[in-house]
């Protein structure tokens, strides 16, 4: 694994799991319609943490209803369904209200993709200079920064699982994480969720 923080990219050469392949397949559809960023637990799994997950969290940039309807139609054509509702207007309302719309392979409920619009400024920043491209032989995945992952896991989510995820990322990328950035994010997190 090679992390170039200046280029904001990680070259990852690993044997893909079934989950990794599913994520790439789902993102192949998503990225044709909208910009996205993977956030939360799947990132530590991608980098070798051995644990199960029921969902993969994704921020997508806000879309109009018509743009979303095209995305939804394409997801259905590629074998995905929405767990929340079948009607595209209902699903879009979840997104507009900053609630997650969950998608999975047809006939399955887990693992699922928890897709949502970013709500707060701190969420929107994942799309600016904060995202990282993880380049694998089979495809590329865009994730939020390692620092953002560690900060949210340690200072907002705080469950045992999340703290272990943060420790795993810190261990894998030892010496390559910007702790000043983590501390700045901690201050923002503490002000939003005291």
Q: Tokens representing 42?
A: 């799947």
**What pLDDT does residue 193 have?**
84
The pLDDT tens digits of the residues spanning 30-62 come to 999 999 999 989 999 999 999 989 999 999 999
- Mean pLDDT, consecutive 10-residue segments, the chain of 194 residues? 94 95 98 97 95 94 98 98 97 98 97 97 88 96 97 96 97 96 96 85
CATH fold for domain 2-144: Beta Polymerase; domain 2 (3.30.460)
**What pLDDT does residue 37 have?**
98
**What pLDDT does residue 130 have?**
83
**What pLDDT does residue 128 have?**
83
Q: What is the pTM of this model?
A: 0.94
Query: In 3D, which of 186, 42, 190 has the Cα closest to residue 110?
Result: 42
Q: Tokens representing 169?
A: 């990322």
Number of residues assigned to the chain: 194
In degrees rounded to 5, what are phi and psi of residue 95?
-65, -45
In whole angstroms, what is the distance from residue 11 CA to residue 66 CA?
35
């Amino acid at each position: 694994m090679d992390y170039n923080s200046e280029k904001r990219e990680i070259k990852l050469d690993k044997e893909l799991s079934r989950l990794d392949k599913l994520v790439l397949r789902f993102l192949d559809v998503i990225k044709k319609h909208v910009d996205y960023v993977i956030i939360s637990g799947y990132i530590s799994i991608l980098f070798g943490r051995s644990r199960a997950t029921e969902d993969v969290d994704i921020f997508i940039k806000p879309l109009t209803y018509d743009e979303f309807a095209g995305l939804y139609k394409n997801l259905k054509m590629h074998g995905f369904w929405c767990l929340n509702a079948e009607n595209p207007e209902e699903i879009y309302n979840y997104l507009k209200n900053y609630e997650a719309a969950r998608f999975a392979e047809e006939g399955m409920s887990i693992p699922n993709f928890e897709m949502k619009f970013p709500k707060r400024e701190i969420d929107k920043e994942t799309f600016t200079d904060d995202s990282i491209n993880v380049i694998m032989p089979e495809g590329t995945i865009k994730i939020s920064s390692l620092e953002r992952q560690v900060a949210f896991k340690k200072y907002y989510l705080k469950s045992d699982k999340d703290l272990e995820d943060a420790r795993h990322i810190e261990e894998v990328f030892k010496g390559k994480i910007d702790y000043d950035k983590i501390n700045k994010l901690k201050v923002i997190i503490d002000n939003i969720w005291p």
